Structure 1
Amino acid sequence: MLKGRANDMHLSDTLRSFAVCFILAWLLPFAACGQRLFAKRIFRTAADSVQYESIRQQILDNLKADIKSDNNALHVKGEKLLVKIIPSYQFGVYSFYDDLMRTDRPDTITHLGLYLLEGSEIPAKVASCVNLKELDISGCHIQKLPVWLGKLAHLEVLTISRSELKRFKLRYVNKSSLKTLNLAYNDLRRIPKGLAEYDSLEEMNLSGNRLKTLSRALSRPRSLAYVNLGYNRVRHNRMKTNDNVKSINLSHNGLKNMPFSLGGFNKLITLNLSYNSIATIEREIGGRQLLVVNLYNNRLKKIPGSILSLPGMVNLDLSHNEITAVPPSIQKMKALNVLSLWDNEVSQLPDELSRLPNLSTLYLQDNQLSYLGDSLSRLPLVKLDVGYNRLTTIPAWVFQSAGIQELYVNNNDITRIGEEILAMPNLRILYIFGNPIGDEQELQRWVKLLRQRNVDVKQ
């Protein structure tokens, strides 16, 4: 719920629809806006398809009613119904079971999707697909891989998702070719055995399982760079340092704090801890190369010191928390380019924030700001969002900014915006709706002039 602003929302139907579609496309891949975005959805049964569409519509209705409604449980339920989404841009790339059975040239098949197979074994004809690069056997009941699978020397991607796997041993797959392993949305409680032997493995998706521990096996693959452990219940880290891992996703793990350190991941660049219940972070979350941290939708009341001590950080998302203040020590984050504090309890900003020489994008919507200090004029801002606050005026330094291209001051208490806004030479987007602006005639005059300059004005 928008804190303290629910009765002040004046989103137009068009803007609300856009916002809902944006969130759906970003947060809910199974519920994207518009059938055209996904060319093919595969379900186990027709009943699952109907239920999926019902869930999708329910989420859409919830978001229209409250843009910040919590639809996580519905999202998980819908994901479990869906076996596979094949984007339209990949149409013509994939071959399917019928294609495999019909062809007399299996050597021409490079991407093969065998969904919802009734048997417990991979069809033997797959062994003749000697140039196969991707094999997807999602939604099946195949528990073991055949020995001949190791002869597919070009196999780079193996997907066995939504197949109710409880245990899985990775073997009989070419150890020098496999780059991506996707075992998402199964019932795994342990990291697959045999993983340590795959030095070619670069990306692993184990989201949507029942994992509780980061296994030592994850320390071994020398090329492993991307690890997705979202939608699990990870509480322990038994991994030794892995200097190759660049991205870890621990979102939706029900974490209340960081029960383990990630300090041994010296090359970690991106860390996703969103959608947990983290209130404090006392342990290290990465080394000096950490550039992007996502703590969206947690329960932080202040910005953790372990975050502020990372001078190389480029993108920091602290949206949807309970943060009340930005500490002066924020000035240590000299490389910071994007800072998101959307939906917190911040009432004022320290002058030290202006000492960030690279901060070009600042999201401050839905806080309790009534004033933007002149010191902020020193920031190289390109995008400034202060919608849903308590501003009564737009400070002069904003109008004098030559760099700002996107300005969002909607849903505040601003009574006047005059022709001084015409002095912003690079302005491209301006949101001013939801303000009690008095002189409607003057407003329409300069809005017309802005639109003649191709500025997108929402009033």
Structure 2
Amino acid sequence: MPHEMKAPGAGLTALPAPAGDPALLRRIDLAWNALTELPEWVGRLPRLEDLRLDGNRLRDLPDLHGLTALRALHLDGNALTRFPESVLRLPELRTLFLYGNAIGELPEGIGLLRGLRHLAVGGNALTSVPAGLWRLTGLASLNLAENSITEVPETIGRLTELRMLDLGHNALTRIPEAIGDLSNLTDYLYLSDNRFTSVPASLGGLTRLTYLNLTDNRLTDLPAAIGGLTALRELRLYGNRLREIPETIGRLRELRELHLMNNALTCLPASVGDLSGLRLLDLRNNAITSLPGSLTGLSRLTHLDLRNNRLREIPGGLADLPALEKLDLRWNKLDDGDPEVLHRLSGRGCVVLR
């Protein structure tokens, strides 16, 4: 089409000349090539709306302030070391992806991009973020993952339009209380691989959140308010130091996956049996000595992983779990080495590993 220049993954090392009048271009897609620089004319395309340059070798950009119609700029996976300041003068910009570069800081002026809806600056070399970022109150998604950020201020609570937030793989030692003000978080909240020792009770206010990842931190317990996350479908808590799970976990009736491996649990609350939507329960590598009889209420459970705990017996009622397809008991030492419950499960086609 005359209004497009598309050659993704074509092995290009230089930008080709457009076939017609470049001023008519609305979309350029040259992702996954080997471009090291862009000609100046790219920054003077008055009708360009979408510029995709992911996966090239760009170290710098020309002045882009002439792209007055640009709505989406994709620059993931390049070699940029500086934030392209001319981007701050793009009035129509809605999407800015700079993931996987080597940018060391964001400008305070980033707050000028008031129309921005999607911002990804993960996988860079950031140690902090400017106050201006928290003025982008129209953001629907924000990715700051895989940096070395040590602090997120309470002003994050201004971003009330966020549906997705990724703060994983940083150096955060606390979660701000204002995280609970992000009432529109629905898709996911990634907080994995940081240095938290606790999470605020305000987290329980995220009543629309469907995916929460708190893995690989230093959590020793969870607030009872975790039971307020009633829309959760998946909860990942592995790689912490949890000694117990609050009874309120049983309120998460929409939960389908609960990942608790690599903690210090010795038991489970009886309310786990109230998780009527649960399909997968992963309890590997804990110190659990017994299972609550209420597990027999998990009528939709298909996978139960109990590897490397301290179990001596298995509730006979597990044989009545109608959907169970796999039970992994390896590296436990049952007093009865060949309990009837396991024969019953195997007999109806459940894979039992012991």
The equivalent of 1:381 in structure 2 is 324
Partner of residue 284, structure 2: 342
Q: How far apart are residue 259 of structure 1 and its match?
A: 4.4
Q: Tell me how many residue pairs correspond in the alignment.
A: 314
> Higher helix fraction: Structure 1 or Structure 2?
1
Equivalent residue for 1:267, pick from 201, 208, 213: 208
Residue of 132, 135, 156 corresponding to 1:217: 156
After superposing the two structures, state which structure 1 stretch, 92-101 or 337-346, moved more: 92-101
- Structure 1's 201 and 97: CA in aligned 2 closer, same or farther, altered over 3 A? farther
Matched, 1:278 2:219: yes
Given the alignment of the two structures, is residue 298 of structure 1 paired with residue 236 of structure 2, yes or no? Answer: no
Question: After superposition, where does 1:298-447 map in structure 2 within 5 Å?
Answer: 298-379=240-321, 380-391=323-334, 392-393=337-338, 395-402=342-349, 404=350, 406-409=351-354
Q: 1:329 to 1:240 in 2, by over 3 A?
A: closer
1:20 aligns to what? none
Asked if the contact 1:145–1:171 (Cα under 8 Å) also holds between the matched residues in 2, the reply is: no
1:135 positional shift: 2.4
Q: 1:287 Cα shift? A: 2.3
Among 170, 179, 182, the residue aligned to 2:118: 179
State how far apart, in whole Å, the 1-side matches of 2:88 and 2:310 are. Answer: 63
Judged with a 3 Å threshold, the aligned counterparts in structure 2 of structure 1 residues 130 and 302 are, in CA distance, closer, same or farther, namely closer
Deviation at 1:370, TM superposition (A): 3.6
2:205 is paired with a residue whose SS is coil
Which of 237, 244, 261 is the aligned partner of 2:177?
A: 237
1:151 Cα deviation (Å)?
5.1
Q: Deviations over 1:259-313 (max 9, x none)?
A: 4530222211111111112111235235211222111011122223343343332
- Provide the C-alpha distance between the structure 2 equivalents of 1:228 and 1:253, rounded to a whole number of angstroms: 9
TM-score scaled by length of structure 1:
0.59
Q: Does the 8 Å contact 1:143/1:168 carry over to 2?
A: no
Distance in 2 separating the partners of 1:95 and 1:215: 41
Q: Which residue of 2 aligns with 1:159?
A: 99
Change (3 A) 1:294 1:99: same
Is 2:71 the counterpart of 1:123?
A: no
The TM-score normalised by the length of structure 2 is 0.74
The offset of 1:114, in angstroms, is 6.0
d(CA) in 1 for partners of 2:151, 2:264: 27
Distance in 2 (CA, whole Å) between partners of 1:98 and 1:138 is 9
Letter of the structure 2 residue corresponding to residue 381 of structure 1? L
Aligned-partner residue type, residue 328 of structure 2: D
* Equivalent pair of 2:139/2:159 in contact (CA under 8 Å): no
SS in 2 for 1:124: coil
Q: Report if the CA contact (8 A) 1:311-1:334 is conserved.
A: yes
Q: For 1:276, give the aligned amino acid.
A: N
Aligned counterparts of 1:123 and 1:356: Cα–Cα separation in 2: 59
Tell me, what secondary structure is at the counterpart of 2:231? coil
Change (3 A) 1:165 1:314: same
**C-alpha distance in 2 between matches for 1:341 and 1:144:** 46
Any idea what SS the aligned residue of 1:226 has?
Answer: strand
Amino acid at match of 2:306: L
Q: C-alpha distance in 1, partners of 2:65/2:325?
A: 53
Distance 1:125 1:189 in 2: 25
Native 8 Å contact 1:360 1:381 kept in 2:
yes
Q: State the AA in 1 paired with 2:102.
A: R
Show the counterpart of 2:14. none
Shift in Å at residue 337 of structure 1? Answer: 1.5
Shift of the 206–237 alpha-carbon distance from structure 1 to 2, 3 Å rule, reads farther
Which structure 1 residue ranges, 5 or more long, are not aligned?
1-39, 41-90, 410-459
Deviations along 1:15-54, whole A, 9 cap, x unmatched?
A: xxxxxxxxxxxxxxxxxxxxxxxxx9xxxxxxxxxxxxxx
Deviation digits for residues 234-279 of structure 1 (CA, Å, limit 9, x no counterpart): 4232345222112212222222222453022221111111111211
| More displaced 10-residue stretch of structure 1: 156-165 or 340-349 | 156-165
Counterparts in 2 of 1:168 and 1:96: CA distance versus 1, 3 Å: farther
SS in 2 for 1:100: coil
Give the Cα separation in 1 of the matches to 2:277 and 2:306.
Answer: 19
* Stretch of structure 1 that moved more, 384-393 or 315-324: 384-393
Q: What percent identity do the matched residue pairs reach?
A: 20
* CA distance in structure 2 between the partners assigned to 1:164 and 1:393 by the alignment: 59
